[in-house]
Amino acid sequence: MELRLDGKVAIVTGAGGGFGVAYSRALAEAGACVVLSDIDLDAATQAAKNLEDEGFECMAVATDVGDEQSAATMAATAVERFGGIDILVNNAALMSEIPFGQPLGEIPIDFWEKVMRINLTGSLICIQAVLPAMKQRGSGKIINQTSGGAFGPAGVYGVSKLGLVSLTVSMARELAPSKINVNAIAPGFVSTDAGKRSTGEELAQALPQMVPLKGFGETDDVVGALLYLASSASDWVTGQTLNVDGGWVMRI
């Protein structure tokens, strides 16, 4: 089955770097028109230009996913430019900004709330922003970027990402009557700039013993899961979190 997205309109948050760039390219190469959304407009604009120079239909938009009006503007811009919204990839998150190994017993509450606002609440804000357009289309695909760190002790980051797993399940149940699929991807250790900065040296050295296939993956190792969940191939799949991590997290 070919994972094509011709005629679809996709929004990728956090599209200015790392996974966001890789996801945007994969969606564009599969035929979708892509809105690259990021709080760093310059980064999103450059990423969009790189794709436009290759003939893909893309645009950049500045978005603070923790701000409801900003997310609403993102959705409205996508509808105005491309006529609707079919796919939302909730990729924006704080990760490398979180001090490695920060004890929860000592974390400042305002920083805790900031992480939750972006990593968890921000995904809900963006879902709410795109729902009217998806419901008008009669279907939609929402893909939340969680993490393998959600399933073990990983501080505030892990807590926020486990919350996103729960949000995925709840929204999948709620939106099923509207033919909107909600799933999540939980990558393992991936060699993006943010991923490398967030992995302590001791943990990085231990990865070959922890991960059956290989320690660090690449963004290209994850885009297949994205295309599956964004395409019609996954029409009978919802509420699921797909671990793409070389076998780091194995669940029965």
**Is residue 4 in some structural domain?**
no
Overall average pLDDT of the 145-162 stretch: 91
Residue type, 136: Q
**Is residue 1 in some structural domain?**
no
Question: Which of 92-101, 110-119, 169-178, 191-200 bottoms out in mean pLDDT, i.e. has the lowest?
Answer: 191-200
**Is residue 160 in some structural domain?**
yes
**Cross-strand bridge partners of residue 58:** 34
Cα separations in angstroms, 157 against 70, 107, 111, 112: 23, 12, 11, 9
**Is residue 116 in some structural domain?**
yes
**Is residue 2 in some structural domain?**
no
Q: Each residue of 44-75: b (16+ CB within 10 Å) or e?
A: bbebbeebeeeebebbbbbbbbbebebbbbbb
* pLDDT above 70 coverage of the chain, percent: 91
For 201-233, how does the pLDDT look when each residue is reduced to its tens digit (9 = 90+)? 655 566 666 787 876 788 999 999 999 999 999
Which two three-digit tokens encode residue 122?
């921000």
- What pLDDT was estimated at residue 44? 98
Is residue 114 helix, strand or coil?
A: helix
- What pLDDT was estimated at residue 194? 59
- What pLDDT was estimated at residue 3? 87
Q: Tell me: pLDDT of 29 over 90.
A: yes
**Is residue 249 in some structural domain?**
no
**Is residue 168 in some structural domain?**
yes
**Is residue 223 in some structural domain?**
yes
Which candidate in 56, 82, 151, 157 is catalytic? 157
Overall average pLDDT of the 16-32 stretch: 97
For 186-203, how does the pLDDT look when each residue is reduced to its tens digit (9 = 90+)? 998 887 665 555 555 655
Residue 252's pLDDT band (cuts 50, 70, 90): confident
DSSP 53-105: TTT--EEEEE--TT-HHHHHHHHHHHHHHHS---EEEE-----TTSPTT--GG
Overall average pLDDT of the 110-135 stretch: 97
3-state helix, strand, coil in the chain (%, to 5): 50, 15, 35
Q: Is 157 a catalytic residue?
A: yes
* pLDDT above 90 coverage of the chain, percent: 77
What is the number of structural domains in the chain?
A: 1
Residue 164's domain comprises: 9-243
Chain position carrying tokens 């296939």: 213
Residue 221: CATH number of its domain: 3.40.50.720
